[in-house]
Amino acid sequence: MNRTWAEVSCEIPADMVDLVADYLVEVTGNGVSIDNLELDTFSLDTVEESSVKTVRAYFTPGEELDAQIAELAQFLHENAPAFGAGSIPPPRVAMIGEEDWATGWRQHFAPTRIGSHLVIKPTWEPFDSAPGDLVIELDPGMAFGTGTHPTTRLCLEALEEIAASLGAAPLEVLDVGTGSGILAIAAAKLGARRVVGTDIDPDAVVVAAENCAMNGVADAVELVTTPLEAIPGSFTVTLANILAEDLVRMAAELATTVAPGGFLVLSGILCEREEYVINGFVPTGLSFQSARHGGEWSCLVYRRGA
């Protein structure tokens, strides 16, 4: 499908990058790219970190776009003083094709080690793996989930720890909101005997299928767009890296997918929304195990009694 995206660029003080990137990820559900402003050199040796950076995000063009850009401009304006900026230029909007969006990611994606054994590696980067490494090759394509975002990283760390704690017990994993398929691929590489990835976005499922094939786990991962209640069976681990509001809305359905003694890992939660999610999961009867944090993000682990 040849889709068009609204590429929205914000030139902001470097210290403000994390705040704005998190805001844009939350609003778009996609990743962002971050550039130094105007690298006017042909020698990388002379490149210095710029005090001004450009954060780019990708919105779906449509009726809501103007309002979303106005809200973004207001967000930048309100937060600028805290970062010593008198004023910030209004966000720039450019319409681009899907190809350009996918390629833009490549400059900002490097091999990343996560937990004890997992390594996320772009397909175009060489990497010498160590014994025991579980390497996931990923082309981020058009779906969220490159391993660089804290919400993904926290899920991967939790999954690896849970898998280790289960020892020889069978690992069966449901990945709700699979995006690029990164968590499903990790589950398969960790030895899960059943992995199901589900996403409401059919484009994400296509990308996830390609990524599974590239990682040699196409046969081990079932990818679907069906609602949770239509997925048969229950799982030793259910992972859901979606937004706090969706997690709470889907609390009962998510809990139902967890087998006796199994775990539920919730991610995509801004720390300020952690309590809201914890309260939302009280009625499920699952027992709260732990919270882990990365940047502004929280990841909650629950367990069903045996």
**Which residues lie near ligand SAM (CB under 6 A)?**
29, 143-145, 151-152, 155, 175-179, 182-183, 198-201, 204, 241-242, 246, 268
User: Does 241 belong to an annotated binding site?
Assistant: yes
36 vs 148 by CB, closer to ligand SAM: 148
20 vs 159 by CB, closer to ligand SAM: 159
11 vs 253 by CB, closer to ligand SAM: 253
Dist CA 90 CA 76 (whole Å):
8
Strands of the sheet containing 92-97, edge to edge, are 32-36, 52-59, 4-13, 92-97
Residues 6+ apart with CB under 8 A from 43: none
User: Does 152 belong to an annotated binding site?
Assistant: yes
Tell the smallest beta-carbon distance from residue 175 to ligand SAM (Å).
Answer: 6
User: Does 177 belong to an annotated binding site?
Assistant: yes
User: Does 2 belong to an annotated binding site?
Assistant: no
Tell the smallest beta-carbon distance from residue 181 to ligand SAM (Å).
Answer: 8
131 vs 202 by CB, closer to ligand SAM: 202
Enter the tokens of residue 82: 């805290």
Angle formed by the axes of helices 202-214 and 182-189, nearest 10°: 30
Dist CA 239 CA 12 (whole Å):
34
Tell the smallest beta-carbon distance from residue 31 to ligand SAM (Å).
Answer: 9
Tell the smallest beta-carbon distance from residue 84 to ligand SAM (Å).
Answer: 31
Enter the tokens of residue 265: 């890992």
Tell the smallest beta-carbon distance from residue 289 to ligand SAM (Å).
Answer: 19
Helix-strand-coil percent breakdown of the chain, rounded to 5?
A: 40, 30, 35
Sign of dihedral through CA atoms 109, 181, 20, 12?
positive
75 vs 297 by CB, closer to ligand SAM: 297
Q: Binding site for S-adenosyl-L-methionine: what residues are annotated?
A: 152, 177, 199, 241
